[in-house]
Structure formats: C-alpha cells, structure tokens
A and B are shown apart, each in its own frame.
Chain A
C-alpha cells in the first residue's frame, strides 16, 4: 500500500530521483591518508575538509506479516541542530548487471524537529539508531563521505557513544533525476583513483542480510 503511494508520488513528479552509490571501508589507521587524498582529488582543495556529526534514526512501519516493512531514515545534524532530514530509499535495481554502481530510487525530504513525534503518531517504530562522525567532500555533484559509526549506549543520548568498528565507512554517491546513466561511469572513474586505499564497490545489501541471518 505504502509502496503504491510512493510510486504514485514518483509518477506525480514529486521525487523522480535516483541515487547512485558505491561503498567501501577503510581501517582507522589509514583514514588520514584517504582524507588527504580526497582533499587533493575533490573540489575546494584549498579549504579544510567539512566535518559532519549526525545522528541517524531508522524507523519502520510494519503492516501485515506478509508485507515488507516500510523503512525510513531520519538524520539529524548535531552541528546545525535545526536541520533534520528524512529519507526513503527504494529497493535496489539489480536488473542490469552491466551497471557500474548500485542504483536505487530515493525520496529526500527536509523536515523539522517535530518529525519524530509525527512518525510515532502514524505508527512508525524506532528500529535502531547510531551516530556518524566524519568528513564530507564533493567533486562536482559527487558526494564522498568518510564516516565513523558509533553505537549509542543509552537510547537517545548522543553523547554516550562507543565506536562500532575499527574502520570507517566510505561512500560515494550522487543523487540525480532519472535517466542520467553517465553518472555511473564518472563514479567508477573516481573510485579507480582511490583504488589501493579503498575499494569502492556496489554492495548487495540483500545478500549481506541473508549472510547475517
């Protein structure tokens, strides 16, 4: 049902966007080298890398047991505390193996701080949450983030955190209107340049989930 509504929204021209994504990880000890390299490769090499500090909450709405739960990602910046962002990510388009990157539809909405209350009201439940800290780079319209994920010891307390792993998540993503296939090529070329440091690949999340269970 929700999916239909979403499809309608997409058809209605509200958010005909696609996200192209490549992911990889790097151990903490080599992070500085990667950041240095990214500074050189990306735009604004003259200024310091932009740091970010976000709190992400994942809400899901479960319908009947047969249906896939509907999941939304809510992010809240801890630097600019008035900025909240809600995101829905569609299922990955696996159909085309020749594609260089993972491609999925997405809906991005800027929201205000009352969103948590609103989501709870309409039946969404908090699944899990984490804190992400790291650096943001951009080259043209490509976004590169190097983020360290932290788990929260007490629910809702963003100050009481512990690192989740000994490595950092590296993501290269572009959000573009539908039908711009050139982006994947550009991203692949960019990923090539980071190669010995970090291996950016299209990650099959479903398979990973299956492996985990």
Chain B
C-alpha cells in the first residue's frame, strides 16, 4: 500500500478540560469528575422521556417474551377461559412488585441514593428540551417564552459581533489608504514586518551623516478612545527618532556690539509658541517638522565645520550651538541653532517678546544649503557618453585646451556657505547703513532736497540707489539737478557722480555722509551757475576748490562769480561744506568811486576788483536758496 510507510501517531486528548488560562500562561483545569458525578452526568444525557415515548410504540422485551409465552400457550389444547384474565393479573402483579421494589429502593437509602442532578448550565438547550418534553402545559408555555427570549438575545449578540467586525475592517482599509497617501510623499520600504521610512535629504543630494529613518505603525487606538478635543483621527502613526523630535530653526542675528562687550555673548530667545506641536498631530506635520529639524542640524553642522576651517583675520567662534563672526568692526553676525524638544518646562525661562531674528538671512541660509544639495545631484552629463562622469564640461576640456594652472585654480575655487552668508550679511548691513544715512541727511538738510530712488531689481549681494539733489520749485529744470548713483556691494560702495567720476567708498557711513554733504555744497554752486545762465548773467569765474577763506573740515569750498548783464553788478557765491553758503555782492560803482580816478580809468577795469559785502540770506524772501538767489539777481539787475 502506498500509505504503509506513513506512521500515524495518535495522542490522547487532554483529559481535563481547561477552565481558564491565566495571564502568566498557566492553565487551570477542571478537576476530573468523581464516579458519582460521572454517573450523574451520563444519566442526565439519557432522555427518559424519549424512552417513555418509545415504550408506547414498542413492547419491551419482557412483554415480547410474554407474548411468545402467550402464543405458545395458545397452542395448548386445554385453553382455560380465564387464562387472559390470569395473565393480566399476573402482569399487574409484576408491575406492582417492581413498583414496590423501586419505592423501597427510593425510600430506604440502603441500595441507592437519589441525588439531585445539577443541570448543566452550559447547555441550556438540553434543559429547554427537558422542559419542553414535560407534559405539563404550564411548563411548556414557560419553555416557549424562554426560547423566544433566547433567540432575541442571540440575534442581538450577532448584530453586535457583526458591527464590531465592520469597524475592524474599516480601520484596516483606512490604514492602507493612509499608507498609500504616505507613500506618495515619503520614501518607505518594508523590512521584515515593519515599515521603515526615510525623511532625510539623502535622496535630494545631502551627505549628512545623521540618518532620518522613521517607523510606520498602525494606530491601535479606537476613535472613541482618543483624547477629547481632537477631531482628526488617523489610522496610521509614525515613530520619529528621539533626536529629531521637537522643532528647530536657525536663528540669524546681526547686532552691533561695543568693543567692550564680550564676543561670546548671546541670548537665545525663543518665541512663545515655538517648539510645541500637539502630540497627536497628523503624521504629515510630524514628519515635516522632523525633517526640518534634520535640515537645520545639517545646516548648522556644515556652518560650524566651515567656521573652524575658514581662515580669517578675526577668527570665527564656535561655541556649542552658536557661531559668532565679526562682519564689520563692532558688527557681529551670530548664527544659533535652536532646537526645542518641547518636553522641558519652557515657561520657566523668561523670554523677551522681541526677537531680533533676521528672516531674510535665515531664508538665504536654507537656500544656500539646498543649492549645495542640488549641485551634488545635478552633475554635468558627460559628452561623449564614455567621458568621465562627475566633471563639468569646462573641466573636461581643461586638458585638451591646455588650461593654465591659474585657470584651473580659479575653477576649483568655491565659496563656502559661511563665506556666502557673511557676504550677504555684510551687504545687508551696508544697505541699511546707507539707507539710514541718506534718510538722516535728507531730514537734516532742508534746503536742497535729497531724494533716494532704490532700484527694485537687486540681488542679495548688490543693490543700487540713485540720489537726486534738487531745489524745491526748480526740480522741473533738469539743469538744476545734482545726481549720483550708488552701487552698494558687500563691503564697499561704488559711487558714480553726475560727471561720471567713479569713487569707491568703504563700509564706513561717515564717508557716504561726507560725500553727500560735499555734493550738496556743489549743488549750490551749480545751481547758481545754471540760474545765472537762465537769467542772462555771465559767469566770470568758477573755482571748484577755492583756496581762500575759512578752512573746511574736509574737502574744499567752491566759489563762483557772476556778472550782471549790464556789467556793473557782481555776485560772488562761496559754498563750503562746513562753512556754509555765503553770497557777496560787489557794492562798488561809478558813483561811489573816487572822482579823481574816473578820468584815468576805463570803467571796465572797475569790474576787476572792489568791495564786496555779504548779503544776509535770512533776510531775503524765498523758500530756498534758489528762489532767494533768483530774487537777488532780479533785484540787482535793475538799472539804477
């Protein structure tokens, strides 16, 4: 036989039923039944009523034998007429005898004890059956009532079971649906029985050592069990590594420090709402926050590494999670990594409400790191395709085109993140300085108006401003404009004046201020010059750096001499930066001249020199110098 070789081992079933399994795995068995209990149980299983019923239809073996006897006796020739009566009586007697015996057995406890058989509660059906089988009408009605009640209960239990199952199914599908959503935004893979995700920027080009794996688990908490007040229930939960918990940001601060203040001093200020997000936040939020933490960490570690490696005249200081660097004398840039786990008692720290956080620089830092990431991933494709991969086209052509060492060196140079951010910070400081200087001067110098037009097209390292100096009421005339263009770089300002001269200013705001003040003084002279032309006056002389008169604090004063159309009046205007504006009128005339000289001298020589008297400009009507000068010119020109 084919199955001959198969050994079938039979094992006895566990003899005793297990009543209960305790939490520690111990099994509590039902104690084995004693002999009497066993008998009682077996007896209980016998359906006496059925036997009764059968008895009616069938004859017992005793009756059968009797019938046979009857048959055999029927064949007897001497058939006695009372024979049947005798038989019936005999049977009745036997029955009575048996009854007596039973009664004896029941009454006298000598042979047998009638014990009350405990109904098996686990089998209500059998009890019901027994009840139902009872002939008594009352009992029957009770049993039917009980059975309907039982069926109602059973129906209810079924429904409960079904609904519970449905909830379970829905949770399962919800989990898969959410997992599908998660898969669309995050990298996931299955390792064994768990689902592992990756939130690091590796796939985006990051080479940071710290990984960002998270685990995806099923949310076993039922919607009804969740904390009050939260309405979002997710079937999916993410477990984020502890070092990425909480939230963080990189605080960038540019501040002015006096020389005496220690360099290593910074106060960490956190906004109140920072670092806290609800523990049961949606997984998307959780992952995004953790990713941001990782990003900030990478950014900071990159900056810290660069800060220690970078050589500069003033060394960069890295202390804990802070980097300090001096961008200008007494201007400090501090970059601080703030990481709040949201666990500690943050209310204990007093926090100033205002945080001097430079959002623009923080944003550029993020942008810079992302650029680095992008570069590591987006390499120049090789052409032809067999060429070495990972080089730029220029680098590949360096050999064949015979590039010099200097060219190669220049090509390999690249700016670090820190250098770039320092440049940006410098530019920003310089721009703000320029802005405030111009504004201050515009408000303190009322006479020529100073206007600044900032170009809206600027980069993070360069911005332009055009300064226009005009006189109120005369700004329609282009001739009276004085303008200069400022190109603000990272640590110097390039100035292009109206006459296309190029000046380089350093980062000191004093230099810019001096320049504007000088331009203002120049403006007065050029205004006088242009006004004279318009009014028909002649320019006798113009001196850009007049050597006479009071010494200026810086630069030189300039002067101009104007002659009235009929050659008999002269105006001399001197404009100095610190000495101010002075207008002199020649008061000599033929009339005031010594009469003895009139015959000797041609009147034209009188124009050469003479006595000048200063005009008190305060007394002249007019809103500004231009108006006053025009007024003076008009007055003086008149024939006397």
Contact = CB atoms under 8 A, between A and B. Distances in A.
Contact of B397 (A52, A56, A75, A110): A110
Contact of B387 (A50, A56, A108, A112): A108
A110 B382 CA distance: 11
A202 interface: no
B389 A52 contact: no
Contact of B393 (A56, A83, A87): A83
Interface string A48-90: 0010101110000000000000000101110110111101000
B321 interface: no
Contacts of A43: 377
B381 A85 contact: no
Contacts of B384: 52, 54-56, 75-77, 83-85
A187 B397 CA distance: 29
Contact of A80 (B393, B398, B400): B393
Given A43-B377, A110-B396, A111-B400, A77 B389 contact: no
Interface size on B, as a range, is 20 to 34
Contacts of A84: 384, 400
B385 A108 contact: no
A147 interface: yes
A50 B385 CA distance: 10
Given A44-B377, A44-B378, A82-B397, A52 B383 contact: yes
A4 to B, nearest CB: 24
A205 interface: no
B192 interface: no
B549 interface: no
Given A44-B378, A84-B400, A110-B396, A79 B383 contact: yes
Nearest to A132: B385
B385 A112 contact: no
Interface in A119-165: 132, 134, 136, 138, 141, 143, 145, 147
A136 B385 contact: yes
B229 interface: no
Contacts of B382: 136, 143
Contacts of B399: 109-111
A75 B388 contact: no
Interface size on A, as a range, is 20 to 34
B369 to A, nearest CB: 18
Q: Which of A110, A112, A141, A175 has the most CB of B within 10 A?
A: A110
A50 B388 CA distance: 15
Contacts of B185: none
A171 to B, nearest CB: 9
Given A80-B393, A110-B396, A136-B381, A75 B401 contact: no
A136 B383 CA distance: 10
A164 to B, nearest CB: 17
B387 A110 contact: yes
Interface in B372-408: 377-379, 381-390, 393, 396-401
B377 A141 contact: no
Q: Which of B390, B397, B400 has the most CB of A within 10 A?
A: B400
A174 B418 CA distance: 34
Contacts of B379: 138
B551 to A, nearest CB: 65
Contact of A112 (B383, B390, B400): B400
Contacts of A54: 383-386
A200 B109 CA distance: 95
Given A80-B393, A110-B396, A110-B399, A147 B385 contact: yes
Interface in B329-355: none
A54 B385 CA distance: 7
Contacts of B385: 52, 54, 75, 77, 132, 134, 136, 143, 145, 147
B200 to A, nearest CB: 15
A141 B390 contact: yes
B105 to A, nearest CB: 86
Contacts of B389: 138, 141, 143, 175
Interface in B124-157: none
Interface in B468-499: none
Contacts of A110: 387-388, 396-400
Contacts of A73: 386
**Which 5 A/B pairs are nearest by Cβ-Cβ distance?**
A75-B384, A112-B400, A77-B383, A50-B381, A54-B384
Interface of A: 43-44, 47, 50, 52, 54-56, 73, 75-77, 79-80, 82-85, 87, 108-112, 132, 134, 136, 138, 141, 143, 145, 147, 175
